[in-house]
Structure formats: structure tokens, C-alpha cells
Amino acid sequence: MLSWNNYLIKKEQYEDLRREADKDRFIHQVLATRGIGEHIHVRVLRRLGYWLAAWGCYLREHFAGEPCSDSGSRIDLYASKAT
């Protein structure tokens, strides 16, 4: 059987967990209303993809001697190459 001190300790642990869950829920609500959260990952992956495509273009120009189809703003990775 639980003693009174054990009961108070368990009750305090439960309340701590509940407060932490409420805080996490509040943070997720705030991030969802601001449009932040998972959208950051999308922007990071988009930027990473752009950097990788630009690096591939640089490597192609440098080592294969082929000019890139688009030297500036946007690289179309899905454009079919006429052979």
C-alpha cells in the first residue's frame, strides 16, 4: 500500500507531466497559427535541392565541358534532354 508521502510524490509527478503536455500542446497551437513548424522543413529541403542542382550544374560545366541549360535563376530537373 502507498504511504501518504508516496501518494504526494506520484501526484506531483502526474501534475508535472500534465503541465508539460499542456505546454507542448500550446506550443504546437501557436506554431500552427503562425504557419511555422513543418513548413520550415519544406523550405530547408527546397533550398538544399537548389544547392545540389547548382552544384551538379557546376560539376557538369567543369568536368564534362557541357554548358548548363539554365545558368541563372531556376534549374528544371525534369526537363527531357534531346539526344
Q: Where are the domains of the chain?
A: 1-36, 38-83
Report the C-alpha gap between 16 and 8 in whole angstroms: 12
**Alpha helix stretches (DSSP H) within the chain:** 4-34, 38-59
pLDDT in tens, the chain (83 residues): 678 988 898 899 899 999 999 999 998 888 777 765 556 777 788 889 999 988 888 888 888 877 776 544 455 555 544 44
Predicted TM-score (pTM) of this structure: 0.40
